[in-house]
Amino acid sequence: MNPSDGRGRARGRGRGLARGQSQPIRPANQQGSPTQAGNPRFAGPRPAQPRSGNTNVPRVPGPRTSRPSIEEVTTKFSEMETGTPIPIGRGAIRGREPIVTPQISYYRAPRPESSKSQTGKQGASGQPVSLISNYFPIKTYTNWTLYQYRVDFSPEEDKVMVRRGLLSNHKDFLGAYLFEGTMLFSSKKYKSDKFELTSKRNSDGQIFIITVTYTSVLEPGDYAYLQVFNLLLRNCLRHLELKLIGRNYYDPVAKICIEKLRLQLWPGYETTIGMFDSGLLLRSEISTKVMREETVYDLLQEFMRESHRDRDWFIKFKAAVIGTTVLTNYNNQTYRIDDVDDKSTIKSTFPKKDGTQMSYIDYYHQKWNIKLKNVGQPLLISKKKKNVLDKSDTDRAIYLIPELCILTGLSQSMSDNRMMMRELAEFTRVNPRERIIRYNKFMNRLLSTPKSVETLKNWNLEPGKNLVNINGRVLPPQKIACNTHQFSAGDRGDWSNALRNAPMYTSASIKRWAIVAPQNVMADVQKFLGSLKRVSDAMSFFLPRPDIIPIPNPTIKSYTDAFENAINGMNPSFIMCIIPSNRGDTYSAIKRHLCVFRAVPSQVIVLRNVQNNNLSVITKIAIQINSKLGCAPWLVKIPRKNMLIIGFDVCHDKQNKNKSFGALVASINDEQTVYYSCVTEHVSGQELSDFFTANMTKVLHAYRSHNNKLPSGIMIYRDGVGDGQLSYVHKTELANIKSVCKEFYKDEEESPQLAFIIVKKRISTRFFTSGQNPQNPPPGTIIDSVVTDPTMYDFYLISQHVGQGTVTPTHYNVIEDTFKDWSPDKMQQVTYKLTHMYFNWSGTVRVPALCQYAHKLAFFASQILRGTPNTGLNQLLYFL
């Protein structure tokens, strides 16, 4: 939390679909478009008219009858008896762990040679610690060879359920197989590599020629092979009477209702089977799904009540709904909302298979016996993007009814409500002991449910009943150096108390600075200044008396006019602003003026923090000011000299999903206390690597300008990389960086040694101390065996102390390492040291400071400035 701004920490990067959510799969497009019923009640902007020719025709969600919808096919598997086809839903391809097809491949960056020594990727420093993790060993499994075939239908059939039925007519000939709609996996090799089968569709007698073509063989150990195990595991979870929502299974029977918040919490599990350094393991992590007791129509009515004084109410409603995931209350399916069609209502019609038109209101009454209430409500649009397995060339649209769509997840206003989040945390924050109990309950339930036991037995899978044991190591507490003092970071990685009376490592010298505040709070400002003076003097940060500029009222224009008068009249080194509340528009306007139009470091403080006069908060404000002016409050020594360390992250613009901002922050001196940063705006379709390359060029120029030489070593911590982006980062970003270095160092005797580390925070792995009283491992805990990936140079690091709940480790994947004589020990130690250097918090953070700075800057540019900052601020941490 930024104590001065009174604003929450950057919560994430808006990476499209929320974790655990997925778009539904719908039937193929048909010709025609819905007949629109005029909707004069909604004055929102009209959607673009479709062009002539094929159009995206809305499909209503299918009922739960003997002919299930395609979404149901993706989440349900038939019983796994010999000769029975097992459908693999497309969700397996669209999720994090895709089935590998000729069009879809799973990428692993080659493991660097530095991790292939006698000790491999494991370090040795630190005190040993016995740990357990949320993984269960798979004690036995059969190494079958699986054969992959492509299945084509003539004439073409878009519905996976129908394709599955046509193929199942030949189950006696095909034997045991798995079929996901296009690819068939069999445990036996058929005599012919290409053969044809004939089937008749029951609904109309249409004859189909099914062509089965051999494509490849999957051996044990192949990534695609492992996905078969995951599909079988998902089938077992279905047998536990859990409900699939998105990618995970939840237990609606065990839901927790929080009536005053109008929320439900559904407990559930996130599971996967994978190959790790210790063999085949099953990971289980508990998950909670937030279900709101309100529909999209309820939300619509809230915005409608503001229509008499807010002409943009419908635009704001759309902004609140688009991107959310809803649960339809008639068939318990989840959909991601991509648009709102205010031209259509429930009276609008869509074409049926026989060519006749049917209204949505009639459809829901006939099919579901639901009488829709408000005939004027607009329709919600969920788009199913074209998949490589789809036959059609266009996206598909599903039209949903607001009053039948239950909102899931937390809205932005809910997330910003601290009181609500504290109440939710009482239910969602789980301590290590309780978490381990839930893991064991899950495994006991899996191994005691008859149908899941039968499924596991049929495939010779036998999970162990006990969590895996791991030997970890705890690195010693780091030494924090100030100007004349040195002290330990302590076992909890927090040196806040020790810092209060210690002189900062380097302190800024300010000649003139200004405070802009409303006229009616001047008495509070004077008292605050006295406290700020005492606190900063104690840390040898000597602030002169500021020029106080009162404004008659706290409007944006009053602030910006005062800024211009101050800048033109006194050219202050720094401007502090006191604002009545943390309204986003005022804060953003101030920051845009001073960070884009001008280049003046600033500190925005909410009035309540001025009036509270809390010395702890004021101490943090003094540290922030000093840091924003280019100085360092403390230091952790990095052993290697002449090294450039870089953090890079990406954040998406919430209001424009096609726009994102890439931020690069680098330390350009030996002590890692002088910084250079740059931000680039990236539009969908542009190569992100081009911006990374351009920024890399700027950083090398800045390093050479500051040191009169180029670095001999470069470490890059790359955050914001999704599972599907690793190939691009390795093959394109890293390659381009090497090209930049080659150009820069063409006249140097040696090329720089380079390390490129992928940083991943959004993970499901957890660790606990073993014994009768399991606890969170202490800061500095390293795990580099058992649950690490045998194809990677990777390790886990726990760098933070967590007082409540369970700590989440950070995963590091080193995809490039050309440092000479740099062991895994040194890589791990430097990474841990860097988690101490984030000046916005007098304690360790989850990632190296350069990564945290890059994340903070990317968020600041995309959400606050909504543009690129003034280059005059590039060498300051102005964004803290």
Closest CA to 288 of 258, 324, 256: 256
**Torsion over CA: 737, 739, 741, 743 (sign):** negative
CA–CA dist 250, 266 (Å, integer): 6
Which amino acid makes up residue 680? T
Tokens representing 41 are 């009640």
And the tokens for 876? 């300051």
Task: Out of 593, 730, 801, 855, pick the active-site residue.
Answer: 855
Rounded to 5 degrees, φ, ψ at 575 are -125, 130
The H or E element that residue 857 is part of is: helix 849-859
Alpha carbon 382 to its chain's center: 21
> With contact defined as beta carbons under 8 Å apart, do 647 and 854 qualify?
yes
Q: In what order do the strands lie in the sheet with 602-606?
A: 547-551, 513-518, 574-579, 602-606
Respond yes or no: is residue 649 known to be catalytic: yes
Sign, CA dihedral 427-430-434-436, equals positive
Q: What single letter denotes the amino acid at residue 872? A: G
Tokens at residue 530, please?
Answer: 């006295």
Q: How far apart are CA 242 and CA 871, in angstroms?
A: 53
Asked about 730 being catalytic, the answer comes back as: no
Peptide linkage before 155 cis (omega within 30 of 0) = yes
The bridge status of strand 713-718 relative to strand 753-760 is parallel
Q: Give the integer Cα–Cα distance in Å for 678 and 696.
A: 9
> Pairing between strand 469-474 and 781-783?
antiparallel
User: What DSSP string describes 373-416?
Assistant: --TTPPEEEEEE---TT-S-SS-EEEEE-GGGEEEES--HHHHH
CA 716 from chain centre, in angstroms, equals 20
Residue tagged active-site, from 113, 302, 306, 687: 687
Strand partners for 271: 284
DSSP designation for 61: P
Contact 2, 709 (CB under 8 A): no
Phi-psi region of 535 (alpha: psi -120 to 50; beta: other; left: phi over 0): alpha
Question: Alpha carbon of 770 to those of 130, 271, 467, 470, 512: distances in Å?
Answer: 6, 22, 10, 9, 56
737 to 107, 647, 694, 729, 854: CA distances (angstroms): 20, 14, 9, 10, 18
The continuous run of DSSP H or E covering 436 comes out as helix 432-448
Q: Is 855 an annotated catalytic residue?
A: yes
Catalytic residue among 719, 733, 816, 825: 719
CB 776 within 8 A of CB 806: yes
Nearest CA to 649 out of 662, 667, 665, 666 is that of: 662
Distance CA 568, CA 573 (A): 12
196 in active site = no
Which amino acid, one-letter code, is at 420? M
If we measure between CA atoms, which residue out of 29, 26, 106, 30 comes closest to residue 74? 26
Nearest CA among 349, 345, 404 for reference residue 378: 345
Catalytic site residues? Answer: 649, 687, 719, 855
